[in-house]
Amino acid sequence: MTNEIVNYIENDIEIDASAISHPVRDVLDKALEGREITQMEAVTLFKANGHADKQAIYHTADLLRQKANGDLVTFAVNRNINFTNVCYMGCKFCNFAKRADEEDAQWHSVEEVLRRCHEAWDRGATEVCIQGGLHPKLPGTYYEELCRAIKAELPDMHLHAFSPFEVWYGASKSRKPYREFLQGLKDAGLGTMPGTAAEILDTEIRKQLTKDKLSTEKWVEIIRTAHEVGIKTTATIMYGHIDAPEHWAAHIDLLRSIQKDTGGFTEFVPLSYQHVGTALYSENPGKVRMGPSTDEIDKMHAVSRIMLHGFIDNIQVSWTKLGPDHAMAMLNRGANDMGGTLMEESISRAAGADHGQEITAYELTQIVRASGRTPARRSSDYRILDIYDDHDPQPLAPLIERGDKDPLDFLKMFPDASSGLEAAE
């Protein structure tokens, strides 16, 4: 291992660098020399179990994060809007979808979506993230019409909307090629797309997750086409169910290969599988795991940073999946972005996540400061809009009542973090 990382480990966490296994040492050496690690080398890192090996992986990821991003930790002020939860695709890992005749089925009018966009704008949002189920009565023109309606009233609001699955659905209903459909969305004001519906980009795994889900080949085709027409996207993985390290490494390697060709991914977002209430788990409790372990979460953020270094340099942590405390910890595992304020969240909550629907900009700033980093507000394409080095965002009450849940409560458990928080305030 290079002297740089050996000194880093010995000085910061006082472990014996000689305890690091040779296979892990060789891979990390290669990464720190600026060379691309292979898919199989990533599997080696994912499967590492020794304490010294894991700490070396985490610190290598943190060092690469420092090289790529410095000490800024970014977030966006945004709002999630799920315009319908009606969907008949039968994804076994999803507990969000409803049938149209169910009591809690929803399909918001365009006017209601616009009301929520205005409400977000008034709270300082620069982005709305819009996705929905594949409602059988939804016309293929709906997506473009919704974009035009929002941009007509809020021309400066960034539209981050519609997964590849929704693009497939809209294009199919419109009887248009993907390129024509995507160009229409862009002309209507679509800014960027979420790279969701990826799950695990492996044919056999996807067949077990759902019988009708968009194929790996179609997902890749739509993402590549979006990039070609000038629509950047995020990249995601949903892990911790029936998958394994080999699938994770292959998935990230495929994303990396797309990025080499298009440069269209803005960030990579690991999404932990949430098992509560899902058919995938209830029908196969002996086969399907209850989500990834803590070690797997840590390694996913770290190894993705190492694999994607120099290609996708923003690694985002999902506080809705992990909670604010574990999300903060990922800032030392290679992550440099806290996602967004969200304001409302439905999909993770439907599958049992209990981490709230909003963390305000002020609260995100306190969490980042308590981690020892500098918080910064960003745009959807990662332009820095404000660096909170000597001031705070305006404190706001949460949009949706959260009862006695306070996302900053966990900081009281850590005297150093609380002291940092008090100093920042």
* Phi-psi label, residue 30: left if phi above 0, alpha if psi -120 to 50, beta otherwise: alpha
Find how far residue 81's CA is from the centre of its chain: 16
Sheet holding 265-272, edge to edge: 78-82, 127-131, 158-161, 190-193, 232-239, 265-272
The reply to whether 283 sits in an annotated binding site is no
Question: Please, what is the angle between helix 216-228 and helix 178-188, to 10°?
Answer: 50
Q: How far apart are CA 173 and CA 166, in angstroms?
A: 10
Q: How far apart are CA 87 and CA 198, in angstroms?
A: 17
Q: Look up residue 343 and give its DSSP letter.
A: S
CB 194 within 8 A of CB 234: yes
| Strand extents, DSSP E, 216-255 | 232-239
The reply to whether 129 sits in an annotated binding site is no
The reply to whether 87 sits in an annotated binding site is yes
Q: How far apart are CA 193 and CA 71, in angstroms?
A: 27
Cα–Cα separations (whole angstroms), residue 185 to 74, 155, 182, 228: 27, 15, 5, 14
The reply to whether 163 sits in an annotated binding site is yes
Q: How far apart are CA 264 and CA 266, in angstroms?
A: 6
CB 129 within 8 A of CB 194: yes
Tokens linked to 373: 């980093």
The reply to whether 91 sits in an annotated binding site is yes
Q: How far apart are CA 118 and CA 315, in angstroms?
A: 29
The reply to whether 93 sits in an annotated binding site is yes
CB 94 within 8 A of CB 276: no
Indicate the annotated binding residues: 87, 91, 93-94, 163, 199, 318
Residue list for the binding site for S-adenosyl-L-methionine:
93, 199
Binding residues for (3R)-3-methyl-D-ornithine: 163, 318
Which residues are known binding-site members for [4Fe-4S] cluster?
87, 91, 94
